[in-house]
Structures are given as C-alpha cells and as structure tokens.
Amino acid sequence: MDRILSGIQPTTDGFHLGNWLGAIRNWVGFQEKAECYYCIVDLHALTVRPPAKVLRRNVFGMAVSLLAVGIDPERSALFVQSRIPEHAELCWILDCFTQLGDLNRMTQFKDKAQQNEKNVNAGLFTYPVLQTADIVLYKATHVPVGEDQEQHLELAREIVRRFHHHYGDLFPEPKVIRSEAPRVLGLDGKTKMSKSRDNFIGVTEDPDTILRKLRSAVTDPRRLRRKDPGRPEVCNIYSLHGFFSGSEERAEIAEGCRTAGIGCVDCKKRLHANLTTVTEPIRERAEALKACPSRVWDVLEEGRRRASTTARATMAEVRERLGIGEGGS
C-alpha cells in the first residue's frame, strides 16, 4: 500500500474553495486507498513569526476545517508538526545533505524574500528541507502537492539521493501526485484564489457572506449592461459553476449568457444556491466541532500518537546509519 503525506500551513479560518477543490478534496479521497499522514505545519508557519495566540487558533481552525470536509481520524493520522520533535531533528540532519546552490534556486524563497525584505530569515531559506523531513520521516511514497510545490519536491528527491549516496538507501524517493483540478481563480477573475489577495470564498463561510462576495465578483468585463451578450468562457463565475452545477444547468447558463437571456445577478444566485448546497453541511460540521474544542484536540493527540510511532522508528534507523544517538560498542 502506498503511503501518502501532505502538509498544510495553519491559516486563519481554515481554507478557501481553491485549496479545497485543488487539493484537500483529493486528500479525502486518498484515504480510501492509501495510508495517509496529514500534517498541520506550524513550524513552517513560524517563518512569518505569528503571535502565539494567533498560531494556536489557526492550528485549531485548520484541524476543524480538515475534519469538516472529511479527513477521517479513524483512517488517517491528522497531527500537528511541532508535536513530533523528530521533524526538527531530521531537518537539521538533512540540512547537511542540502547544497546552498540548490536552495538558492528555489523560486518560492526568492518570491517570499522579495515580498518581505525585512524578514528574510534562515527558516525561510531552509523551508524546503523541513518539508523534506516531513515527508521522509514517514517514508512517504507519494506526496500530493500543488504546482507551486513541485520544485520543493524535486529538491526533496535530490536530498534523499544524496543521503543514500553517503549512507545507503533508507527512504522511498517521494513521488508527486499532481492535482487534476484546474487552478481556481479568485473573485477578481484574474489571479489564483488566495487569502493574501483577499479574493477568496472560505469553505466554512456562511451563505450571506458568500452571497455578498459573489455579488461583487468580476464577470465578463464586456458585459456592461444586462442586454449585452456575455462570454461564459472568459467568465470566472461560469468556471465556478463548473465545480458546483450540473452539466445541463451549465449548458443552459452558457446559452443564456451568450444570448443575454440570463443576467449576471441571476447567474450568481444560481451559483450561490448550488455552491452553498455543498458548503453548508461542511460549515455545520465545522460549527459543531468548534463548539467542542476538546474533541478536536483529542483527535490531534491521537494523530500525534500514531505519527510518533512511525517517526521514532525512522529516526532510530537514521541515527544508526549516521552513528549518532544511542548504541555503539
């Protein structure tokens, strides 16, 4: 059986439709056929130095969201990275198998360094090494990630190969599972949906908030008046219908849009109805979990226990190979 590991940063109020459709929905599906480890990566989040309270709240919120969309703690290990000290230990070790030249090529590092010139810390630089540790600590064979993480996975494989070259084979070379879902654009219709651009719909947002956001969402810019014919193929609202509306309804909307038979307001209302049919049960589950925080922390503790068993076994092997830690006669 394959072993899957993926990580997600703890962000405020869980994730948005883009994260869900692009990645997390697949995480749920993998549980059917693989042994899954899902990690909330709070150590990675420290690179931006969030206030302690904010970080803890975000970890909790992310756990709630993951459970609400169907991550099943009976089947998967859902855990918080910092609760397993082996991540940081292995990260240091793998640092010694990572060339500066390789880290320097990472486009995400370059982007982040540029976005925040005042805080270009070493954690940001070695971020992909910690990510590699996350993966190989569980000897994961497959890692589902978005396009933006493929370079990090390529580096992870390189680090694994270098470790093997010096100390013998120990880890699977992790393979990328590419998400099939197309990129989900934000409400501006131009850039990828993201929290930082504030162009998102949260998976656990309430129907009123979602309606308000849809109202101001960009449509076909050439459709200035109700009687102007529209072009569904350039309209992001139409592409969102693709995820939530049936094919017959979509065909009808496309036709109506081209002939000005349907207005954008109604088109958005129909999207809203179909979208909230999907998101309302998720939001309700999230509300129930938020009302019972100890249950969520218990789930994470159980995940920690499971993850820890694997992590400790791997670290024992790593230490043995390297000639560190206990033993030696």
User: Would you tell me which residues interact with ligand TRP (CB under 6 A)?
Assistant: 5-9, 41, 44, 131, 134-135, 143, 145, 149
| DSSP structure class, residue 4 | E
83 binds, among ligand SF4, ligand TRP, none (CB under 5 to 8 A by kind): none
| DSSP structure class, residue 3 | E
Q: Which of 33, 110, 190, 192 is catalytic?
A: 192
Does the footprint of ligand SF4 cover residue 237 (CB under 6 A)?
Answer: yes
Question: In the complex with ligand TRP, which residue's Cβ is closer, 140 or 201?
Answer: 140
Report how far residue 80's alpha carbon sits from residue 8's, in angstroms, rounded to the nearest whole number.
10
> Do 69 and 282 form a contact (C-beta atoms < 8 A)?
yes
* Interface size with ligand SF4, residues (CB under 6 A): 13
5 binds, among ligand TRP, ligand SF4, none (CB under 5 to 8 A by kind): ligand TRP
CA dihedral 130, 59, 5, 146 (to 10 degrees): -80
DSSP β-ladder status, 35-40 and 77-80? parallel
Question: Exposed, middle or buried, 63 (CB in 10 Å: 0-12/13-18/19+)?
Answer: buried
Stretch that binds ligand SF4, among 111-119, 168-176, 229-237, 284-292 (CB under 6 A): 229-237
Question: In the complex with ligand TRP, which residue's Cβ is closer, 5 or 21?
Answer: 5
Question: In the complex with ligand SF4, which residue's Cβ is closer, 165 or 215?
Answer: 215
Does the footprint of ligand SF4 cover residue 187 (CB under 6 A)?
Answer: no
Residue 161, helix vs strand vs coil: helix
Question: In the complex with ligand TRP, which residue's Cβ is closer, 8 or 235?
Answer: 8
247-276 binders of ligand SF4 (CB under 6 A): 257, 262, 264, 267-268
Does the footprint of ligand SF4 cover residue 129 (CB under 6 A)?
Answer: no
| DSSP structure class, residue 116 | T
Q: Which of 139, 195, 269, 290 is catalytic?
A: 195
The residue among 169, 110, 163, 104 whose CA lies nearest residue 133 is 163
* 175 catalytically annotated: no
CB-based contacts of 123, cutoff 8 Å, min separation 6: 46, 47, 130
Stretch that binds ligand SF4, among 21-29, 135-143, 233-241, 308-316 (CB under 6 A): 233-241
Residue 281, helix vs strand vs coil: helix
Stretch that binds ligand SF4, among 12-20, 36-44, 121-129, 216-224 (CB under 6 A): 216-224
186 binds, among ligand TRP, ligand SF4, none (CB under 5 to 8 A by kind): none
* 33 catalytically annotated: no
- Give φ, ψ of 291 to 5 degrees: -75, -10
Does the footprint of ligand SF4 cover residue 185 (CB under 6 A)?
Answer: no
**CB of 17 vs ligand SF4, minimal distance in Å:** 16
b/e sequence 216-253, b meaning 16+ C-beta within 10 Å: ebebbeebeeeeeebebeebbbbbbbebbbeeeeeeeb
Report how far residue 275's alpha carbon sits from residue 291's, in angstroms, rounded to the nearest whole number.
24
41 binds, among ligand TRP, ligand SF4, none (CB under 5 to 8 A by kind): ligand TRP
Question: In the complex with ligand TRP, which residue's Cβ is closer, 83 or 270?
Answer: 83
| DSSP structure class, residue 16 | B
β-pair partners for 6: 38
Does the footprint of ligand SF4 cover residue 300 (CB under 6 A)?
Answer: no
Question: In the complex with ligand TRP, which residue's Cβ is closer, 16 or 44?
Answer: 44
Does the footprint of ligand SF4 cover residue 245 (CB under 6 A)?
Answer: no
Catalytic residues: 112, 192, 195
